[in-house]
Amino acid sequence: MSDFDFDTLVGLVSQYSPSGQERRAVEWLVTRMKSLGFADAFIDNAGNAVGVMGQGAKQVVLLGHIDTVPGEISVRVEDGLLYGRGSVDAKGPLACFVDAVAQVGVQDGWQFVVIGAVEEERNSEGARFVAEQYKPDFAIIGEPNQWDRMALGYKGSAWANVTVTRGQVHSASGEETAAEAAIEVWLKIKAYVDLINADKTKVFDKLLLTLRGMDSDSNDFEQWARLKVGMRLPVEVSPEDWYVKLNEIANGEVVEPNGFAIPAWGCEKNTPLVRAFLSGIRSQGGEPRFVYKTGTADLNIVAPVWKCPAVVYGPGDSALDHTPNEHISLDEYAKAVIVLSEALKKLSA
């Protein structure tokens, strides 16, 4: 792969862009897409970088994200590995989209739209905007899952604060404190989740519960304790369903949803898009594999709106997401670009 052009990848990773500070990277990517022959490249009203190749009636949207978590990492290449914040999550997949579409070029009757979305690591503002702007025939979401794998599902999420309040009592009274009552609520939540999960063999099908924090305080008249409850949801449990159940378990204590709740999403496996990727992976000597992820992605935002065949694809080891050692193999990146190029050619043939 010594003659492979890694300028898109290295250049994009070199633009440090934590959520809320993406503008410089967006401007760089728009300029890069123009130089690679995209018919149009621009910054949309949400601040996303958008590149368009072709004007056909059939549309493929390739949605990656250009923001990263905070924590700048010195950008360097060592032993065939590119180190830098976002090299894996998810500028590697986004750069792969750009390079592959540039390689494929204009295909008669088709339009490829590459989007580098902002704010994915926070509230997915970029994806929420484009969900209402496009109605693609096929969607490819950029997240790292290794060059020979496709992700077909991401779990949903729903966060909540559960607050227990009790009247102030003397510490020698022996009466239950708000903190003690909150622990009892937590144990009931956990017991319910354990019961539901008992007959589930796949992690993707389970409720994944976390206690994200707990605090308590008091004043002259009352005491309170708050549980910060996190839940990763399977496809069959909507955030609304979970909040109803949580209120039932809390039995009168105050339950407050926190942040954006996101439903889980599973992609259809038997589609022309999946078959195109199977062919592309095999063309590079790979044995295609499917994965289902326990996190959430912009797939969860756009797929329920677009309702079209979708997959999640991108080079990189997701175990390196958000780590101080984040890096991507240049050889793997090059393979992923070829895989995606071949998939797009087959899809649009």
What is the tens place of the pLDDT at every residue in 9-55? 999 999 999 999 999 999 999 999 999 999 999 999 999 999 999 99
Residues marked active site are found at 67, 120
Alpha-carbon distance of 219 to 165, in angstroms, equals 11
- Determine what percent of the chain is predicted with pLDDT higher than 70: 97
pLDDT value of position 4: 85
What is the tens place of the pLDDT at every residue in 288-311? 999 999 999 999 999 999 999 999
Tell me what the pLDDT averaged over the chain comes to: 95
Count of CA atoms in the C-beta half-sphere (13 A) of 272 = 11
Q: Give residue 174's pLDDT band: very low, low, confident or very high (50, 70, 90).
A: low
Query: Which of 111-125, 212-226, 301-315, 327-341 bottoms out in mean pLDDT, i.e. has the lowest?
Result: 212-226
- Across the chain, the runs of DSSP E, i.e. the strands, are 40-43, 49-53, 58-65, 76-78, 81-83, 110-117, 138-142, 149-154, 156-167, 208-218, 222-233, 254-262, 265-266, 289-293, 310-313, 327-329
Alpha-carbon distance of 152 to 335, in angstroms, equals 20
Residues whose CB falls within 8 Å of the CB of residue 127, separated by 6 or more in sequence, listed in order: 63, 65, 117, 120, 298, 301, 302
Alpha-carbon distance of 29 to 217, in angstroms, equals 49
Q: Give residue 173's pLDDT band: very low, low, confident or very high (50, 70, 90).
A: low
Show the domains of the chain with their CATH numbers: 7-154+264-347 (3.40.630.10), 156-262 (3.30.70.360)
Question: Does the pLDDT at position 80 exceed 90?
Answer: yes
Q: What does the pLDDT average to over 55-70?
A: 97
